[in-house]
Amino acid sequence: MFENGGYGEDGIFGGRKWGTGDEVMMLSEEQWEALDPQKYIGYGVREIPCVEDAHVDAAIRAITSSADMEVIVRFTRRSAWRVFNAFAVRMASLGVRNRDPEIIRRGLVACGVALSSAEDFREVILSLTVLHRASILIEEDPVHLFREASGVMPPWIAEIVDQFPMREVKDLRIEPYGYAEGRDGSGFRFVSTW
């Protein structure tokens, strides 16, 4: 599953640590395996929440520093950025449903992971727009929320996330980016219009 062909010299089974040297991540082998992008085909449109959300959330919750984020990026397949990007939009919807800024913050951290390895960072910008809108809908200050989330990101990613809420209002609307506010069987949901 891992692009580098292994779990790293210091990889220890059983949920202790993964990585090499000072770069370690507290995830079990099962949690790493659960991040295989092949298991997420059609993930973005599934019911919220679903079991895959819990797997991605475990990885996001384990990120407490930029070094942690770098380990996630290094030890997952390059295409996993799409999983983290879909998770971000899903957490925007769930954050609005539950009126919970922490859920939105985890979506922002997932965007940081996606930005680290995305083929085209503009696709992740779409998710940041939805997370910004989610912050507004629950009456949270997006500047504060984005800044808080960027604290666990490498500097070049943190700068993108920090600056995002400062865009002109017209550049923060979700409709031009292919999203609308809607509902599904479980409640509020951002839906793709593309």
Share of the chain above pLDDT 70, in %: 84
Are 28 and 15 within 8 A, CB to CB? yes
| Tokens standing for residue 142 | 């997006």
* pLDDT tens digits along 21-30: 444 455 677 6
| Residue range 121-133: mean pLDDT, rounded | 94
The whole-angstrom separation of Cα 139 and Cα 149 is: 17
Query: Cis before residue 49, ω within 30 degrees of 0?
Result: yes
Cβ-Cβ contacts under 8 Å for 147 (sequence gap 6 or more): 162
| Tokens standing for residue 122 | 């503009």
- Which candidate, 120, 93, 107, 100, places its Cα nearest to that of 59? 107
**What is the overall mean pLDDT for the chain?**
85
**What pLDDT, on the 0 to 100 scale, is given for residue 105?**
98
Question: For the whole model, what pTM was predicted?
Answer: 0.85
